[in-house]
Amino acid sequence: MTERLDLPDTEWRGVSRKYVVVEVVGLIIFGLVVAAATSIPTVISGIQWLAAIPISLGIIFLINILLTPRRVRAIGYMLRADDLVFRRGLMFRRVVAVPYGRMQLVDINRGPLDRAVGLSELKFVTAAASTGVVIPGLPEQDAEELRDTLVALAESRRAGL
């Protein structure tokens, strides 16, 4: 395996390990729904080979679930002097740098699964829709502290659009 796209000399801060649970449970629920929906044709028509669709989808979900711990480990962020860098993805790696002054607002979201294990998701919004910085799996306390830090940093480096 060749090395992955990364920033040299970067101390990434990872997200909570509990986020693996959230991801896995979410994938299992989604996988079951998809498998149930795609097996309807087989059940109704009784044609054997149509069962290949739910089975193959199930295998994809299984691989996905097995890779989840590594994928969660790949999520990282770092507060540099003037910008926030964020990294995610195993197969599809993406690294984003957002200057603090570009922040328009910060969202904190908690889904039902997140709430069950006490995690939050932090969303960093700029004027560009494609920025797409969403840091999942932060413990509630950390997420709120991070938000306050980011807002304070953005305020001190305010720029126009």
Partner 1 sequence: MSEFPESEHTENEFPENESVAPTARIASLTAEAQRLADGEWHRLHPATPLLRGGIALLAIIGVIIVNARDFFIETLFNSRNEFDPFSQLAEFGLLIPAVLIVLAVLVLSVLGFYFSWRMHTFRITDEVVEVRSGILFRTNRRGRLDRIQGINISRPLVARLFGAAKLEVSVAGQDANVELSYLGSRGADNLRRAILQLASGTRAVEATEAAASREGGLIEQRVNEFLASELDPDAAPPESIVRIRIPRLIGSLVLSEATIIAVAVAIGIIVTISVSGEYLWLFAFLPGVLGFFGYLLSRLTRSLRYSIASTDDGIRVGYGLLSTTNETLPPGRIHAVEVSQPLLWRPAGWWEIKINTASQASSSGQANAKTTLLPVGDMDDVHRVLQLILPSLANAESRELLEAGLAAGAHDDAYVTSPKRAAVLRWFSWRRNGFVMISDAVALRKGAIWRSLVLVPQARMQSVSMAEGPLLRRMGLAELRVHTVAGPISATIGALERSDVVAFFNQVSHAAVQSASVDTSHRWRSGSTKRTPLTASGSAESVTAEPSTPATATAPVPATDTPEATPEATP
Chain positions contacting partner 1, by CB under 8 A: 2, 4-8, 82-83, 85, 89, 91-99, 101-102, 126-131, 133, 157-161
> What's the min distance (Å) between Cβ of 153 and partner 1?
12
> What's the min distance (Å) between Cβ of 141 and partner 1?
26
Closer to partner 1 by Cβ: residue 17 or 80: 80
**CA trace torsion 149, 153, 155, 157 (10° rounding):** -170
> What's the min distance (Å) between Cβ of 100 and partner 1?
8
Cα–Cα dist 147/52, whole Å: 46
Closer to partner 1 by Cβ: residue 19 or 124: 124
The structure tokens listed for 141 are: 């306390």
> What's the min distance (Å) between Cβ of 124 and partner 1?
9
Cα–Cα dist 130/73, whole Å: 23
CB 121 within 8 A of CB 138: yes
Closer to partner 1 by Cβ: residue 6 or 107: 6
Burial status of residue 85 (CB atoms within 10 A of its CB: 0-12, 13-18, 19 or more): middle
Cα–Cα dist 97/40, whole Å: 45
Closer to partner 1 by Cβ: residue 47 or 81: 81
